[in-house]
Chain A
Amino acid sequence: MRMTRREMIKLSAAAFAAGALNIPFADSAEAQGDDVVVDEWIKGACRFCGTGCGVYIGVRGGKVVGIRGNPEALTNFGFLCVKGFKGFLSMYHPDRLKYPMVRQADGKLTRVSWNEALGLVANKFKELQSKYGKDSVAYYGSGQCMTEESYTFNKLWKGGFRSNMVDGNPRLCMASAVGGYMTTFGTDEPAGSYSDIEKAKTFFIVGSNLSECHPIIFRRIARMKLEAPDKINVIVCEPRYTSTSRIADVWLPADPGTDLAVFHCMAREIIKNGWIDSFFVNNLCRFTTGQQVVDFEAYKQFLEQFKPEDVSKLTRVPVANIVEAARLFATQGPTVSLWTMGLNQRTRGVWANNLIHNLHLITGHICKDGADSFSLTGQPNACGGVRETGSLCHLLPGTRLITNEAARTQVEKAWGIPAKSIDPKPGFHTMQMFAALGAENDATKPLKGMLITTTNPAQSLPNAHKYFKGMEEAFLVVIDIFPTRTTQFADVLLPAAFIYEKGGVYGCSERRSQLTGKCVEPPGEAKPDLWIGAQLAKRMGFEKLIPWNGDDPAKNYQMAWDDYRTCVKDTEHTVYGMTYERLKKLEAGLQWPCPTPEHPGTAKRYVRGQDPIMDMPHIEKVPPQAMIYFYADTKHEGKANVFLRPYKGPEEPPDKDYPFFLTTGRVIEQWHSGTMTMRVPEIARSQPNAYVEVHPNDAKQYGLNNGDMVKVISRRGFMVLPARVVKMSLPGILFIPWFDQAWDRMVNRVTIDAVDEGSRQPEFKICAVKIERVGDPRDVAEMTIISNVNDPFPIKV
């Protein structure tokens, strides 16, 4: 019997769903169906968070017509969340940028040829560099660029221009996690993997609304908890009672920025009750103030100031909850900690990361199955693309410090550039960069030009007002797929290809790199970022350094990847064994260290028999008898640092004038500044505008009802948006999601730009505000997007 196309699609989809869950499916239509319903299913990764879910993209007649989770992907086992299924539909939105544009004398962006646009950028950059020095032009990248792209721009700047004015938006989300790993273990990124989740018994989830921000990871944990509620323990430390907290056994609702005291208090309880791992404490931990090495006794003494009763008063977390959390963490393991921005986006972000590592080190809940101290990354390629390629102002490929002479020498050799040509001095970090950006005639602003790609700083920088003028007055080149608040300042606007229109490698939170194949052609004249970077290099005289400028995008990406692989070959971050051929073939990608083309990748670092670096003395020297060894220890003792970090609260705690904590974050439907997800109608409709969550007690005091319009005022600015009266937050704490680009509701008009001293990551999560009721409910479900590139910025800057 002949099947209709609709029936074929149904059978194929059902067979796939059944197969993903090992459910018997009698019909043999799966194979036939696949041939009939799409021309090809192309393997790739999702681009809407750092989980790194594997997908298959269905292509038919040159269009993307279907998507399915990859059941063989070890990140998601076939499941995808709402953003994974729908987010990329934005690639067909009519607002896609299709042609290069240059701002003319009348202030309007006008279509030009690629040759004209790139020629203008190259000449202007050269002119600025010759007039104001090599460091007068900056690159500001993104954790959403492909690895090959970040590597290319980094190489062009550091190896070509000899300038370290390279940074990116991971500075805003992950820098404190990098700082935490580097200071504790001597090297970046987690020891373990997602596979620890299924082997863990206790989860410590901190500063992360996992269920909305990393839904697939949450699903893995929730499934375990629901299947064995008495055997699996979940502790959530977070000021809001989020959907993640609903599966928690213990909730630690610490006031924003006070959780350092909670972590120290847990350590005190652990030691007091003898729940430590003596082997770890005696052999693998170094106790230190940061300035001075001390002994375990001094650490114990130091912790005495964090008695549960005192900490409870300081943080509002009940005593019993802290004590129970310590017990579960230490005695009901193995334990996995997971965190994101709640821990990182703080002026004490590095310290907070250190203190989580402390708990794992003193209890020995690390370097074992089911145990790890695991920072989840927010963006799909902040780890692989930016941290690992060293595309920040202080790093080199392999997440090595630019101040390290040996690392510079090795990179100079790999790049074939003269010895000592890489500048040992770090460039500006993100906030410094934007503060230093300005007009040519402004002697106080050393940065005169900037190339921004795949990110939207005019919406995403904290205390954004302060930085608009610099963006307006400098020579700004923006690469993006849609008009954004940032493109409103662009002098040159270059249309980019979407991930499925170019392909390339993404590296997710668990050190796993996955290759996405090119699926379809980009619209109009949009081009891959890699092509743009290579063409710019060619026009600026660096064709030898960046030779991947041909017409075959796949070949260009592979050349860039091979160059990167070779550059980090002899580092403990090696991806040398991850050839394109392997990444194409393997369903789940590979985890570094992966030193040879035969190596299966590494799920657990620092453990003999699992981590190849343990037996590669030309990279790290490890004593032959050591089974666990923190080989990146800068003192070469194989130890990790347990820090005696003093308690310090947030930069701007509430006071009588600004009595509320304001905290910001994501919602499940929307991605970052909403430029893509706001263009998917179902997503936009389900979260059409930002709002402010207010606790009912506070609402009562201010006479607020649901939907009333509220003015939220900080020392830096104000916004007006509807109230959502909910019990989720504690009294005194307000929450606003940050995706909304409507001027009135752009939360970064009020956030603070104070930064962590170590990581230079801003404290997005905490500032003090006051509120005023300004009116009755108003329909603000405008689903604001900037559709026209020539829409002016809402204010004169």
Chain B
Amino acid sequence: MVITGSVLFIEPGSEKPVLEALARFPEVTFQARSHSGSQLVVNLEAEDHHALDLLCARLAESIPQIVDITHLQVHFEDEIDGQTNSNRP
């Protein structure tokens, strides 16, 4: 499982419709907003990095007010555990 702390940069004035749209994505947890409302702090959760990329692509496609998605922290210990456990000797 990959868990991020990410920021969605959204068009000015679009906070309400964006939050409504985000509610349809169980993999997204809204956490905080900037004073201007143009930056939303969220968690994204996905099976692995590839799934995370796909999730971002789906968000950008279905919520046109999203200008940019930036991850500031990524946790991926399950993925690393998977990799190291499968390491060849």
| A66: B residues at CB distance < 8 A | 73-77
B43, B48, B49, B84: the one within 8 Å of A14 (CB) = B43
Instruction: Report whether A23 and B49 are in contact in the complex, using a CB–CB cutoff of 8 Å.
Output: no
A352 CB, nearest partner CB in chain B, Å:
33
B11 CB, nearest partner CB in chain A, Å:
12
Instruction: Report whether A25 and B50 are in contact in the complex, using a CB–CB cutoff of 8 Å.
Output: no
Q: B3 — nearest CB in chain A belongs to which residue?
A: A9
Stretch at the interface among A326-334, A638-646, A678-686: A678-686
Interface membership of B7, Cβ < 8 A: yes
| A22: B residues at CB distance < 8 A | 34
Could you give, for residues 743-777 of chain A, a 1 whenever the CB lies within 8 Å of some chain B CB and a 0 otherwise? Answer: 00000000000000000000000000000000000
Instruction: Report whether B70 and A65 are in contact in the complex, using a CB–CB cutoff of 8 Å.
Output: no
Q: How many residues of A contact B (CB 8 A)?
A: 46
Instruction: Report whether A13 and B32 are in contact in the complex, using a CB–CB cutoff of 8 Å.
Output: no
Contacts A16-B73, A66-B77, A685-B50 given; indicate if A6 touches B3 (C-beta within 8 A).
yes
Instruction: Report whether A63 and B84 are in contact in the complex, using a CB–CB cutoff of 8 Å.
Output: yes
Instruction: Report whether B5 and A17 are in contact in the complex, using a CB–CB cutoff of 8 Å.
Output: yes
| A686: B residues at CB distance < 8 A | 53
A6, A14, A78: the one within 8 Å of B42 (CB) = A14
| A11: B residues at CB distance < 8 A | 31
A482 CB, nearest partner CB in chain B, Å:
13
A78 to B35, CA, bound (A): 19
A202 to B46, CA, bound (A): 41
A604 to B88, CA, bound (A): 50
Could you give, for residues 91-104 of chain A, a 1 whenever the CB lies within 8 Å of some chain B CB and a 0 otherwise? Answer: 01110100000000
Instruction: Report whether A89 and B72 are in contact in the complex, using a CB–CB cutoff of 8 Å.
Output: no
Interface membership of A445, Cβ < 8 A: no
Interface membership of A573, Cβ < 8 A: no
Instruction: Report whether A25 and B32 are in contact in the complex, using a CB–CB cutoff of 8 Å.
Output: yes
Interface membership of A281, Cβ < 8 A: no
Interface membership of B63, Cβ < 8 A: no
| A67: B residues at CB distance < 8 A | 73-74
Instruction: Report whether B77 and A60 are in contact in the complex, using a CB–CB cutoff of 8 Å.
Output: yes
Instruction: Report whether B50 and A68 are in contact in the complex, using a CB–CB cutoff of 8 Å.
Output: no
Could you give, for residues 51-89 of chain B, a 1 whenever the CB lies within 8 Å of some chain A CB and a 0 otherwise? Answer: 011000000000000000011111111011101101110
Interface membership of B29, Cβ < 8 A: yes
A681 to B82, CA, bound (A): 13
A721 CB, nearest partner CB in chain B, Å:
24
Interface residues of A in 97-125 (CB under 8 A from B): none
Instruction: Report whether A16 and B72 are in contact in the complex, using a CB–CB cutoff of 8 Å.
Output: yes
| B6: A residues at CB distance < 8 A | 17
Instruction: Report whether A94 and B34 are in contact in the complex, using a CB–CB cutoff of 8 Å.
Output: no
Q: A683 — nearest CB in chain B belongs to which residue?
A: B49
A93 to B1, CA, bound (A): 18
A466 CB, nearest partner CB in chain B, Å:
35
Instruction: Report whether B87 and A25 are in contact in the complex, using a CB–CB cutoff of 8 Å.
Output: no
Q: How many residues of B contact A (CB 8 A)?
A: 38
Interface membership of A64, Cβ < 8 A: yes
B40 CB, nearest partner CB in chain A, Å:
9
A14, A60, A96: the one within 8 Å of B5 (CB) = A14
Instruction: Report whether B80 and A65 are in contact in the complex, using a CB–CB cutoff of 8 Å.
Output: yes
A528 to B86, CA, bound (A): 24
Residue from B29, B75, B87 with most neighbouring chain A CB atoms (10 Å): B75
A363 to B79, CA, bound (A): 53
| A27: B residues at CB distance < 8 A | 31
Interface residues of B in 1-58 (CB under 8 A from A): 1, 3-7, 29, 31-35, 39, 41-43, 45, 48-50, 52-53
A68 to B74, CA, bound (A): 6
A497 to B70, CA, bound (A): 30
Contacts A17-B6, A682-B49 given; indicate if A68 touches B80 (C-beta within 8 A).
no
B70 CB, nearest partner CB in chain A, Å:
6
A10 to B31, CA, bound (A): 9
A13 to B2, CA, bound (A): 11
| A79: B residues at CB distance < 8 A | 70, 72
A257 to B10, CA, bound (A): 41
| A80: B residues at CB distance < 8 A | 71-72
Interface membership of A378, Cβ < 8 A: no
Instruction: Report whether B86 and A15 are in contact in the complex, using a CB–CB cutoff of 8 Å.
Output: no
B28 CB, nearest partner CB in chain A, Å:
11
A686 to B52, CA, bound (A): 13
Interface membership of A577, Cβ < 8 A: no
B81 CB, nearest partner CB in chain A, Å:
7
Instruction: Report whether A17 and B80 are in contact in the complex, using a CB–CB cutoff of 8 Å.
Output: no
Interface membership of A58, Cβ < 8 A: yes
A6, A18, A68, A86: the one within 8 Å of B49 (CB) = A86
Instruction: Report whether A65 and B75 are in contact in the complex, using a CB–CB cutoff of 8 Å.
Output: yes
Q: A20 — nearest CB in chain B belongs to which residue?
A: B72
Instruction: Report whether B80 and A23 are in contact in the complex, using a CB–CB cutoff of 8 Å.
Output: no
Q: B83 — nearest CB in chain A belongs to which residue?
A: A92
Residue from A14, A93, A680 with most neighbouring chain B CB atoms (10 Å): A14
A92 to B1, CA, bound (A): 16
Q: A78 — nearest CB in chain B belongs to which residue?
A: B72
Instruction: Report whether A23 and B76 are in contact in the complex, using a CB–CB cutoff of 8 Å.
Output: no
Contacts A18-B41, A92-B83 given; indicate if A85 touches B33 (C-beta within 8 A).
no
B12 CB, nearest partner CB in chain A, Å:
12
Instruction: Report whether A93 and B71 are in contact in the complex, using a CB–CB cutoff of 8 Å.
Output: no
Contacts A21-B34, A63-B81, A89-B49 given; indicate if A13 touches B87 (C-beta within 8 A).
no
| A58: B residues at CB distance < 8 A | 75
| A37: B residues at CB distance < 8 A | 75
B50, B77, B86: the one within 8 Å of A94 (CB) = B86
Instruction: Report whether B73 and A68 are in contact in the complex, using a CB–CB cutoff of 8 Å.
Output: yes
A307 CB, nearest partner CB in chain B, Å:
43
A681 to B42, CA, bound (A): 25
A524 to B25, CA, bound (A): 42
| A192: B residues at CB distance < 8 A | none
| A89: B residues at CB distance < 8 A | 49, 76, 79-80, 83
B82 CB, nearest partner CB in chain A, Å:
9
Contacts A17-B41, A63-B77, A92-B84 given; indicate if A85 touches B32 (C-beta within 8 A).
no
B41, B49, B83: the one within 8 Å of A93 (CB) = B83
| B87: A residues at CB distance < 8 A | 92, 94, 96, 523
| B31: A residues at CB distance < 8 A | 10-11, 14, 17-18, 25, 27
A726 CB, nearest partner CB in chain B, Å:
20
A12 to B1, CA, bound (A): 16
Q: A22 — nearest CB in chain B belongs to which residue?
A: B34
| A26: B residues at CB distance < 8 A | 32
A475 to B73, CA, bound (A): 45
Interface residues of A in 657-715 (CB under 8 A from B): 680-682, 685-686
B18 CB, nearest partner CB in chain A, Å:
15
A464 CB, nearest partner CB in chain B, Å:
30
A680 to B53, CA, bound (A): 13
Q: B78 — nearest CB in chain A belongs to which residue?
A: A65
Interface membership of A69, Cβ < 8 A: yes
A20 to B72, CA, bound (A): 8
Residue from A9, A80, A86 with most neighbouring chain B CB atoms (10 Å): A9
Q: A681 — nearest CB in chain B belongs to which residue?
A: B50
A sample of 17 cross-chain residue pairs with beta-carbon separation below 8 angstroms, ordered by A number, consists of A13-B3, A13-B74, A14-B43, A16-B5, A17-B5, A21-B39, A23-B33, A23-B39, A58-B75, A64-B80, A65-B77, A68-B5, A68-B72, A80-B71, A85-B71, A681-B50, A682-B48
Q: Which 8 pairs from chain A and chain B are nearest by CB? A: A13-B5, A65-B77, A17-B5, A14-B31, A68-B73, A17-B72, A682-B49, A92-B83
Query: Given known contacts A68-B72, A86-B49, what 17 new A-B pairs fall within 8 Å (CB)?
Result: A9-B75, A10-B31, A10-B43, A12-B73, A18-B5, A23-B39, A23-B41, A26-B32, A58-B75, A60-B77, A69-B72, A78-B72, A89-B76, A93-B83, A94-B88, A96-B87, A681-B49
Which A residues are closer than 8 A to B by beta carbons?
6, 9-18, 20-27, 37, 58, 60, 63-69, 71, 78-80, 85-86, 89, 92-94, 96, 523, 680-682, 685-686
